[in-house]
Structure 1
């Protein structure tokens, strides 16, 4: 493992522990206030502060899990680029069928056919 990665992980773990200790301390403070005539809001904070303290550790765990999942789902190597024979054939009957339905669509399809023919001529 790289030294920089190890140092970063140790730093994140330290930050998570520090966050948990600080939030448990704040929960203890809210408990003391509740016991000494505080309100139900103080009791609510007693329950919330530990959750706030655990959140950075949860995020650290979740990010590691998502990174591991992304590594497992890496895409397969791409196949070789298609050759001249692999290119799709433009069917003229489909273009004629579109011309009967919508003249604007037929003009667009003719434009695309011209671009395709020009591209095929340039690649030869």
Structure 2
């Protein structure tokens, strides 16, 4: 009941603000920005009612489908303790990335030489 009352109050307040913006638009110093607000305020006022309707629709749909079926959780496989992973060589699939990494290695080597 409170949600319906909030939706109605929101609609009334926003329609009042739209009317105020319409008065501003029709005055001597009104701009098209005021006209934009005239069109936006009623949409803002209808938003709580739309959300209430949408939540009810989703709830009814969830109730019609029944409770969700939970699948059993399968544990992730553990690595064997005797398995030793060999370090993977660096491979750059992207040629541009490989060129950039070579450039960074070259800059690092120059810095090392300059520091000595």
Q: Indicate the TM-score class for this superposition, using the shorter chain for normalisation.
A: 0.5 to 0.7
Report which of the two has the higher share of helix.
1
Q: Which runs of 4+ in 1 moved over 4 A?
A: none
Decide whether aligned partners of structure 1 residues 76 and 34 sit closer, same or farther in structure 2, where only a CA change above 3 A counts: closer
| Gap regions ≥5 residues in structure 1 | 1-9, 79-104, 111-124
Q: Which has the higher contact order (CA 8 A, sep 6+)?
A: 2
TM-score by length of 2: 0.57
Q: Is 1:63 matched with 2:55? A: yes
In structure 1, how many angstroms separate the alpha carbons of the residues matched to 2:54 and 2:69? 28
Q: Is 1:53 matched with 2:45? A: yes
Query: RMSD between aligned alpha carbons?
Result: 2.3
TM-score by length of 1: 0.53
User: Which of 4, 7, 15 matches 1:24?
Assistant: 15
Kindly tell me the number of residue pairs found equivalent between the two proteins: 73
Q: Is 1:35 matched with 2:26? A: yes
